[in-house]
Amino acid sequence: MSPGTGAALGMLAATVDAKAVAEIGTGTGVSGIHLLHGMRPDGVLTTVDPEPERQQFARTAFRAAGFAGNRARFIPGRALDVLPRLADGGYDLVFCDGDRTECLDYLAESLRLLRPGGLVCFEGVFADGRTVDSGPQPAEVLRLRELLRAVRESQDLVPSLLPVGDGLLCAVKR
């Protein structure tokens, strides 16, 4: 994640006064740290990743960044297995940085999870410039194009594509 993307995430979390954030794709914890910095001091980040080793690394990174253990809830597992168990309308922001071939499914789950006025963000939507390249593309790029179209055409969302890092697609739920 680029510093610009991280800064944007923190600012967006602060903008929605985020108390509850869901993150798809824990990674090494970089995005989670940015989100936590932008969230309310009593906010909780729920982060989902299929690899528990990554989550352990992120847990250590969160502590090193000064966040108390109760600020993050780590749920190991595949996002599409875990997300249906999370509360409808219980989240202020959903950040998606998981399997790009599942991005449309993440969008559907995000719309269910978000409160009105909540924000969904997708990292990496430029796919290193491949989403606008006219040549043949892999399935993940075709899915990202479908995601961009779905968000743009949705009557339930107010979208914006931020040109930070590898592209940050954001949309507010009406």
CATH number where 100 lies: 3.40.50.150
pLDDT value of residue 63: 97
Q: What is the pLDDT of residues 22-68, one digit of tens each?
A: 999 999 999 999 999 999 999 999 999 999 999 999 999 999 999 99
Q: What is the pLDDT of residues 112-137, one digit of tens each?
A: 999 999 999 999 999 998 888 888 88
pLDDT value of residue 47: 98
Give pTM, 2 decimals. Answer: 0.96
- Unique residue bearing structure tokens 């510093």: 3
Residue 74 structural domain: 3-173
- Unique residue bearing structure tokens 């909540």: 118
Contact 9, 162 (CB under 8 A): no
- With b meaning 16 or more CB within 10 Å and e meaning fewer, what string describes 45-61? bbbbbbeeebbeebbeb
**Token reading at 43:** 């906010």
Domain count of the chain? 1
CA proximity to 19, closest of 157, 107, 119, 158: 119
pLDDT value of residue 133: 81
